[in-house]
Copies of this chain bind each other. A is one copy, B any other.
Amino acid sequence: MQKRPTALAFDVFGTVVDWHGGIVAAVAPLAAARGVTVDASAFALDWRAGYPLAMDRVRRGELPWLHIDALHRMILDGIVGRHGLDGLSEAERVQLNRAWHRLPAWPDSVRGLTRLKARHTITPLSNGNFSLLTDMAKQAALPWDCVISAELFQHYKPDPEVYLGCAHLLGIAPGELMMVACHPSDLRAARDNGLRTAYVRRPLECGPQTTLPAVADGEFDIVATSFEDLADQLGAA
């Protein structure tokens, strides 16, 4: 590979933190307290499935700019019924929606990021809103150098404004920035905007039944199995 990237921009949901495990852990006690039997994994998958659809409505202009907290809440209100959770109070819904601010990091995330930080500027580059990413970093001790959210550009990935806006804010060329994600679609958009790319496999992203996406040989600059492996491949100490 050519010169080391100056900065690394990380997708967050699935790549850095375990949204499936975090939502399962948040919904289970709420359901139990109400005496409702819920398939917590199915609930988490259902909630997450609404997310790209909702963002696409914003991207197409069918919805005004709404940040992820608002979209998550809209989706939540739409799915509680089919999971037997329509009895959740307003306070419980607010609390559950905040679970996205408190998602747990994957076991290798903090250690890998800490190693990478020694030689690269590291930032999230997520569709999650700014306060969500800031709260999450504080909670999970993610050692970011700064926080960059799609909210800053009022555009969601994969819109070019997000990738190019990130490089611009960091004062570097797109080619000096490497996008790190477990979603090939995110990486392909980053690559199409001149960024470098690192694909990290997250075989538990959607829980035990995760199907890993297909990735062509040589499609991305790096393919890694964890942030520790990524750090090794980038020559971190």
Residues on A facing B (Cβ under 8 Å): 69, 121, 123, 129-135, 137-138, 144-147, 151-152, 169-172
Residues of B within 8 A of A172 (CB): 131
Docked complex Cα distance between A189 and B189 (Å): 42
Docked complex Cα distance between A169 and B152 (Å): 9
Name 7 A/B residue pairs within 8 A (Cβ), A-sorted: A69-B171, A130-B170, A131-B170, A133-B146, A138-B145, A144-B146, A146-B146
Q: Which of A123, A134, A144 has the most CB of B within 10 A?
A: A134
- Contact yes or no, A134 B121, CB < 8 A: yes
Q: Whose C-beta in chain B lies nearest to the C-beta of A67?
A: B171
Closest 10 CB pairs of A and B: A131-B171, A146-B147, A130-B169, A134-B146, A131-B170, A138-B145, A134-B145, A152-B152, A121-B134, A137-B145
Q: How far is the CB of A204 from chain B (nearest CB, A)?
A: 28
Residues of B within 8 A of A145 (CB): 134, 137-138, 147
Instruction: Pick the contact of A130: B132, B146, B151 (CB < 8 A).
Output: B146
Q: Which of A137, A138, A146, A170 has the most CB of B within 10 A?
A: A146
Docked complex Cα distance between A195 and B147 (Å): 22
Count identical subunits in the complex.
2
Q: Whose C-beta in chain B lies nearest to the C-beta of A144?
A: B146
Q: How far is the CB of A175 from chain B (nearest CB, A)?
A: 16
Instruction: Pick the contact of A169: B69, B121, B138, B151 (CB < 8 A).
Output: B151
Residues of B within 8 A of A147 (CB): 145-147
- Contact yes or no, A138 B152, CB < 8 A: no
Q: Which of A123, A131, A144 has the most CB of B within 10 A?
A: A131
Q: How far is the CB of A131 from chain B (nearest CB, A)?
A: 3
Residues of B within 8 A of A144 (CB): 146
Q: Whose C-beta in chain B lies nearest to the C-beta of A130?
A: B169
Residues of B within 8 A of A135 (CB): 121
Residues of B within 8 A of A138 (CB): 121, 145
Q: How far is the CB of A136 from chain B (nearest CB, A)?
A: 10
Residues of B within 8 A of A129 (CB): 171
Docked complex Cα distance between A172 and B101 (Å): 14
